[in-house]
Amino acid sequence: MINLLTLATSFLLGSSFFELPQLTSAQDIIYCNKTTSNCPSSAPCCSSSGQCGNGTYCMGGCDPRFSFSVDACIPQPVCQSNTWDFTTDIVQSSEKYLGNATDYQWTYESYGHILDYDEGMLLAMPKNSKGTVVSSTFYVWYGKVAAKFRSSHGAGVVSAYILFSNVQDEVDLEFIGSTLEEPQTNYYFQGNLSLTHGKNLSTTNTNTNWHTYELDWTEDSLTWSIDGKAGRVLHKNETYNATTGLYAYPQTPSRIQISIWPGGDSSNAPGTIAWAGGLVDWDVSEFEDPGYLYAMLDSVEVECYDPPSGTEKNGTKSYVYKNNQKDWTSDSVMITDEDTIIGDLNGSGLDRNLDEDDDESSSSASKSSTKTASKDSTKTTAADSEETTGSDDEDSGSGSNGKTSVSSDVSDFVQYYGSVTSKAGAASGSGMVSSFMGLLALAVSCVLL
């Protein structure tokens, strides 16, 4: 079972190595959270790591609670029922994606490595890299999501399959590389830390065996299943908080995210390393041949359910949060016909930087002009991977992507792990830990953790 003290240490100290973009200087960072002001109009969108910017910050993971305004965040594409068999051809680089969820339903972070393989698509983690995260561009607001997946292996190596909302509601299924028969389940409401929500499941080796992992999420219950067998059921009525008068139950539109990352990197906090099963051994033979550790994704199937009864509907294209919200629950969300597209990565919901032409045409033209370059530079086959990962590994290992705080391409990865900071902040009762992590960011280059 999960050691609660270890988890508490992990969440309170955080994993800042993965939460913070590597910027040109610390003063470039503008913070946004409960203890600071909201983002300024010049960088209006608050990422889930608590930093302000434009572009990718304004799409997946844009937190309306701490952005300049709710409409700074780009509307969230509605759920799509479908089955996707994964190859690199259907996954677009996040720094090329401009919001057209009809053309691309999946993105990966440009520091990551995805590779085609006979049995599925590989999410690779080369030596001393940050790993890889793949995210849906659309959001699920209740539905059944099933992923056929093989986790990675080894101490300190974490594979994960989660649902994550812009206000940090979260449903987790995580795989620690040293305990391959005990997937960990968890859930969070608006990023608030709880040491009682985790529960381990039991199955056969998750690295050597294919399993289908299913999250069946309704307005009233949440079921985690493996190969069609329910392992855990959570009922919404079990989550009522008499102090707040709210149900601490994941209930807002969420993206699907699947990843591999080095929780046991030596730069991380001791609690994070302990939770991840110890330090990553960066000298194992796989980092020489084929050149990486990996998780393997075969397919994802999504069945969208109806939104909550009574949901305000002014269209069918996108989810948006209403203005002047207090609780940020499911009642805060409406369905509209607002567009989900921006003209470039300097755009936001306040100024999309669109041409005078039709929004979708301009987005498609922009995307098609970069699609080939994206494939050639960052996507490859398993047979080509040694040369490709070798050339990319220097960037991944250094953690530097040459971006400024306005257009970092790590927003989705920090979204996935950015909740660690928010959980800790909520646990403090006053956001003290969020402020603490902000101070740590100023000294991240010294790796104080």
432, 425 in Cβ contact below 8 A? Answer: yes
**CA dist., res. 14 & res. 207, Å (int):** 27
CB 15 within 8 A of CB 158: no
**What's the rounded Cα separation, in Å, for the pair 269 and 8?**
12
Class of residue 103 by CB neighbours under 10 A (exposed 0-12, middle 13-18, buried 19+): middle
CB-based contact 252:328 (threshold 8 Å): yes
In Å, how far are 189, 288, 390, 426 from 242, measured between CA atoms?
15, 54, 54, 17
Is 214 marked active-site? Answer: no
Residue 240 CA from chain centroid, whole number = 26
- Distance CA(128)–CA(396), nearest Å, equals 7
Residue ranges in 379-431 assigned as alpha helix (H): 385-398, 411-427
- Sign of the Cα torsion 137, 141, 144, 149 reads positive
CA distances, 386 to each of 120, 127, 391, 395 (Å): 18, 11, 9, 15
Residue 344 and residue 293: Cα distance in Å, rounded? 34
Q: Which of 19, 95, 109, 170 is catalytic?
A: 170
* 356 tagged catalytic: no
CB 149 within 8 Å of CB 258: yes
Crossing angle between the packed helical segments 4-13 and 411-427, to the nearest 10 degrees:
110
Catalytic residue among 109, 174, 301, 356: 174
Which residues are part of the catalytic machinery? 170, 174
